[in-house]
Structure 1
Amino acid sequence: MQEPKIESPLNPLPPVIVALVMVMGGIEAVLSLGANGLIGGPGAVGWRLTAMQDYAFLNTVFDWMMQNGRFPPEHLMRLITYPFVHYNATHAIMVVVFLLALGKMVGEVFRAWAVLTVFFGAAIGGALAYGLLTGDPRPLVGGYPAVYGLIGAFTFLMWMKLGALGENRNRAFVLIGFLLGIQLIFALLFGGDHTWVADLAGFATGFVLSFVVSPGGWTHVLAKVRGN
C-alpha cells in the first residue's frame, strides 16, 4: 500500500531569494548588533556609517567619475552594493518583506539567473537615474530600487497574463501606481527626498528586462516584432 504524500502547506521560497534575504539580513544584523554595542566593541557603533561611506551610491563620487572619465572598481561596485546597506533595521525589514513577497512570485516563474539579472539590473538602473537626474548629495542606500525591479517583473507577468486573457493590460500597473501614490502622500506630509526617482527607474528597468529574461521572453519579443 502506497503511503499518502504529505505536502507542506507553505510553498518553499526560490533558493535565489533565500540567498538574497540571507545576505541582506545578515549584513543588517551585524550592523544593528554593532550599533547597540552587542558585538565589535566601541568601534562597532560606527560600522553603519563606514558601510555607507564605502558601499552606498554617492552622487559626489558618481559626478567625479563622470567628470574625470575614470571608473575605479571600488566605486563602480557601489552600483550593486548599496541595496545591502540600510539606514536602520526598520528600513531593512521593510525591504526584506517586499523581497520575500515579490521574489517568491517572480522566482516561481523566472530562472535564478533571470531573477538576479532583474534585481541587480534594477539596482544599477535606479542608481544611474538617481545620479543623472537628481544631483542629491544624500547617499542612496537600501534595496528598494532593486525590489522595485521585481515589482516591474511581476507587473510584466500580470501584463502578459491579462493580454493572453484578452483583458485590459493597464490593470497590471495598479500595484506600482498604488506604491508611488503612497510615496507621494508621505512626501507631501513629511517631506521627501529623491529616492523615488531610483525606485521608478528600478521598476522600469525590471519591467523592460523581463521582456528578455523571462521564459521565452526574447522569442516572444521577436514574434511581436514580426507580427506573429
Structure 2
Amino acid sequence: MFAVEVVLSLSGQALIGGREGIGWRIAAWEDYGFSPAFMPFLFAPGVDQFDVLKRFVTYAFIHASFTDAAFAIVITLAIGKFVGEVMRDSAMAILYIACTILPAIIFGLVAPDGAWLFSGYAPAYGLIGAYTYILWIYLRRRGERQIAAFRLIGFLLALQIVYTAIFGASSRWIAEVPGFIVGFCVTPILLPGGWSALLAKLRTR
C-alpha cells in the first residue's frame, strides 16, 4: 500500500514517468478500483474474470491522495499491531482479506451507479471491528461497561459526519461500515481457540 502510494505521488509530481506519469493515479483508479458496474460481468461468459475479480482486492491499495493513503496506513498499522498481538499471522491474513472482499461485494450490490471504491479504509475498519471485539471481551471479563469498546468506531463515525458536512457525501462509507461489521463478527472465530470457544459460549446461553 505504501509502495503504491509513493509511486503514484511521485508520478503525480512528474518526478517519475514524465508527463504520462501525471495520469497514473487516474489510470490506477480505472484499472484497479471497484465499481458496481462490474457486478453484472462477474462470472459472465466471454469476460476477463481476472480483471473483474482482482478489483475486489486491489481497490484497497489505491487512494485518492497521499494524505488519504497516510491515514489508512496509520490506522492499519496501529490497530493491526494491537490485533496481531492476540491473533495468529494466518488469522490476521484471513481477517484482512475477508474485510477487503466482503465489503466490496456489499458496495457492489448497494452503492449507486457510477460510484467508485478505492482506498484501504474498508479493511482498516475491519481491523477496528476486530479491536472492538477484543476490547469488548476484555471489558466483560473485568466487569466493566462493554459499551466503552465502541468509543473508537463512534469517534470515527462522528468524524465521518463532520467530513461529509464540510466536503460533501462520499459513498465509501458503504464499504467501511460493512468492513467494521465483518471484522467484529469473524474475530471470535479467528482468535486462538475461537471456534470451539464460541460454540462453548453459545451452549452456555
TM-score range with shorter-chain normalisation?
A: over 0.9
8 Å CA contact 1:136–1:194 kept in 2: the answer is: no
Structure 1 position 188, deviation (Å) = 2.4
Flag the 1:156–1:91 CA change in 2: closer, same or farther, 3 A: same
| Pairwise CA distance, 1:71 | 7.8
> For 1:192 and 1:183, how far apart are their aligned partners in 2?
9
- Structure 2 distance, partners of 1:209, 1:113, is 14
Q: RMSD in angstroms over aligned alpha carbons?
A: 1.7
| Structure 2 CA distance for aligned equivalents of residues 73 and 166 of structure 1 | 49
Equivalent in the alignment of 1:112: 89
Q: Which amino acid aligns with 2:145?
A: N
Instruction: After superposition, give the CA deviation of every residue in 1:126-158 in whole Å (9 maximum; x if it has no partner).
Output: 211211112241310000001000000100110
2:50 is equivalent to residue 54 of structure 1: no
Q: In structure 1, what is the Cα distance between the partners aligned to 2:72 and 2:102? A: 18
Match of 1:73 among 38, 42, 50: 50
Counterpart among 113, 127, 135 of residue 150 in structure 1 = 127
Match of 1:193, SS state, is coil
Contact 1:65–1:71 (8 Å) recurs in 2:
no
**Alignment partner of 1:140 is 2:138:** no
Q: Kindly provide the CA deviation profile for residues 70-127 of structure 1, in whole angstroms up to 9, marking residues without a partner as x.
A: 7812211111111101111111111111112101111111111111111121111221
How many residues align? The count is 204
Max Rg structure: 1
> Contact between 1:129 and 1:201, CA under 8 Å: does it hold in 2?
yes
Deviates more, 1:167-176 or 1:73-82: 167-176
8 Å Cα contact 1:56/1:141 also seen in 2: yes
Q: Unpaired segments of 5 or more residues in structure 1?
A: 1-23
**Amino acid in the other structure paired with 2:8:** L
Q: State whether residues 72 and 121 of structure 2, in contact with CA within 8 Å, keep that contact through their aligned partners in structure 1.
A: yes
Matched, 1:86 2:38: no
The corresponding residue for 1:99 is 76
Equivalent AA in structure 1 for residue 102 of structure 2: G
- Aligned residue for 2:140? 163
Corresponding residue number in structure 1 for 2:9:
32
Partner of 1:6: none
Instruction: Give the % identical residues.
Output: 39
Deviant stretches of 4+, over 6 Å: none
Match of 1:184 in 2: 161
The one-character-per-residue Cα deviations of 1:6-26 (angstroms, maximum 9, x if unpaired) are: xxxxxxxxxxxxxxxxxx110
- TM-score where L is the length of structure 1: 0.84
Residue by residue over 1:179-224, the C-alpha shift from the partner in whole angstroms, topping out at 9 and shown as x without a partner, is: 1111112212331112112100000001111011111211211111
